Amino acid sequence: MVSKSLKLVAAVILSCTSATVAANDGTRLLATGGATSIEGSAGGGIVPWATLSSYAGESQVGATAALSEVSVDDFRLSVAAASVNFYNRLEVSYAKQTFDLSTIGGELKQNIVGVKARLYGDLVYGDWPQLSAGIQHKTNQTFALPNAVGAKDDSGTDYYISAAKAWLDGFGHRTWVANLTVRNTKANQLGLLGFGGDQQDRRWQLEGSVAAFINRYWAVGVEYRQKPSNLSFAREDDWKDLFVGYFPNRSLAIVAAYTDLGSIAGLDNQHGWYLSLQASF
């Protein structure tokens, strides 16, 4: 089931975890590179954050490669993604999503090109949050099913603005991080079920994450992502997850989560696990 690109990213991750040198030159603090979200942008698990990928500082270029799997009752999402961060100013990302319809049968695929620019501020320093704006251009590789259930387009572009802030000495003398993202989208189930529909078209959605660092290496947090519901064929629910992040060094980030994806394509109560591995260079 594992596709070629997934294998490639896995090989890259394995080979780079031994070569920690490049990422260790990065001039940002541990964990501030975050993880790779399921759409390829640096973030948490299901929400893109205002932070840019890797540990590249203002005079550096960094990169990441990541593999993520979401496994819920009747579906399985596999993501292979990579990104480059130029001078902690501009992030360019690419993600390949494969959505396995385990129960219904078949699979849906789409590719996502992302660009995110840091507009203002710094996650850690100053009174105001770090502010970024981004786009995610999504293209379906399989449109027969989305077309059949009423999706209007086989491609679409999300626009978002994110604000993220860390409190080094937050509640309980722990370091806390919060991110808020506002997204304009016409994607149905991330875009895997196409774009737009008979119910509505473009919509603004709110997404948020909060995490507490137990120590330098371990974080626990929650995420919430509002979802549109454009197709009368099946309702779409908001997504949530409860995650644990592990940042052993600046080359590796591991995120595990318990997710609640609600109803997908008419199948209710999709709960399950999320696991993501990210290598930084």
Largest CA distance in the chain: 53
Chain centre distance of CA 115: 13
Question: Would you count residue 91 as binding another protein (CB under 8 A)?
Answer: no
CB atoms within 10 A of CB 157: 17
Question: Would you count residue 198 as binding another protein (CB under 8 A)?
Answer: no
**Measured from the CB atom, is 24 or 232 closer to another protein?**
24
Q: Looking at residues 43 to 82 of the shown chain, list those that interact with another protein (rule: CB under 8 A).
A: 57-60
Where do the H-state alpha helices sit in 137-257? 144-148
**Measured from the CB atom, is 26 or 156 closer to another protein?**
26
Least separation, in Å, of the C-beta of 258 and another protein? 6
Give the total of residues touching another protein (CB under 8 A): 29
CA distance 84 to 65: 9
Question: Would you count residue 242 as binding another protein (CB under 8 A)?
Answer: yes
Tokens linked to 198 = 């008979």
When binding is defined by CB under 8 A, the residue of 3, 11, 120, 167 that contacts another protein is 167
Question: Would you count residue 120 as binding another protein (CB under 8 A)?
Answer: no
Q: What are phi and psi of 49, to 5 degrees?
A: -105, 165
Judge contact between 255 and 222, C-beta under 8 A.
no
From residue 128, alpha-carbon distances to 29, 124, 199 in Å are: 18, 9, 38
Tokens linked to 246 = 């592990």
The answer for residues whose C-beta is within 8 angstroms of residue 211's C-beta and 6 or more apart is 44, 176, 177, 178, 219, 220, 221, 222, 243, 245
Stretch that binds another protein, among 13-21, 167-175, 192-200, 224-232 (CB under 8 A): 167-175
Stretch that binds another protein, among 128-136, 207-215, 232-240, 261-269 (CB under 8 A): 207-215
Question: Would you count residue 214 as binding another protein (CB under 8 A)?
Answer: yes
When binding is defined by CB under 8 A, the residue of 125, 128, 204, 273 that contacts another protein is 125
Residues in contact with another protein by CB under 8 A are: 25, 27-30, 57-60, 122, 124-126, 167-170, 172-175, 212, 214-216, 220, 242, 244, 258
